[in-house]
Structures are given as structure tokens and as C-alpha cells.
Amino acid sequence: MSRPDWPYYFMDIAERVALRSTCPRRSVGAVIVKQKRILATGYNGAPSGMDHCTDVGCLMVDDHCIRTLHAEQNAIIQAAQFGVGTLGAEIYSTSSPCASCAKMIINAGMTKVWYSEGYPDETAFRFLEEAGIEFEQIEVEQIEAPDGAEA
């Protein structure tokens, strides 16, 4: 068994977080990390206390489901709810951010965005670049479990 590098480790966790998604159109997970420590996680789903897409269907406007918050938004909100600062943190997301999430990442003071699959929003990349925030696409490697354990 090989020990994964930090980016792959955190992206693998983001993949697991995405399993909690409640919008069937897209499952996205995000993990905010600072100094190799997880600060907050988020997945795309309805606001707390509201019906989920998986229960009542998606609420579509201009080909987007507006019932859900994005994974990056939920992670940033979770950090804020618990008084966890994101200044200088990095975010790992299973999808590159949309323009709105990019703006939130910028204002949250994050320094890098790691993502595994692209989202068709070039404006987001332009915003990140203009703000001096690094972004890098990585693929999640299959991580092997120790002998005799299930993955």
C-alpha cells in the first residue's frame, strides 16, 4: 500500500463528502484545509431544514437547480458557523468552482483551489487568476486499503 500525497488524500476525502449530496443532478464535495488540517467540509444540498431535491425534485431556473447550495458555499458557511477562519486556507473540491463560488473563495481569503473535474465556467478561473489565487486540477488516485481491510 502506498501512502497518498496530501493533495490526493484531501481530494479523496472531498469525493467521500460528495456522497452526502442531495441533488441528483450533480454530486460535489468540498474540503477546506489549512496547514494539513481539515477545517470544514461541504456538499451540494438544500439549506438546513428545507426539502432536498432527492425528496421533492430539483427547482430549476435557467437550467440550474436553485434549491441547493454549492459544496464550496456550504463548506465556507460551516466554517463561519463554528468560528473557523479560512484566511490562508486551501479548498479541495470535486468540481472547479462556478463564478459565485470563486468570489466567495476569494473573499474568504483562501490561497489555492484544488479540483478534480472541470465545470464550464471560465469566468471563475478569470476571477481566481485576477485575485492571485492558484488553482490546480488533480485526479483522484485509487487508494488501496491495507491488506485484509475493505476500501
Catalytic amino acids?
72
Amino acid, res. 81 = Q
Q: Output Rg (C-alpha) for the chain, integer angstroms.
A: 15
For residues 5 and 139, the answer to whether their CB atoms sit within 8 Å is: no
CA distance linking residue 136 with residue 26, whole number of Å: 21
43 in Cβ contact with 20 (< 8 Å) = yes
User: Helix 122-130 to helix 99-107 angle, to the nearest 10 degrees?
Assistant: 20
CA atoms within 13 A on the CB side of 58: 15
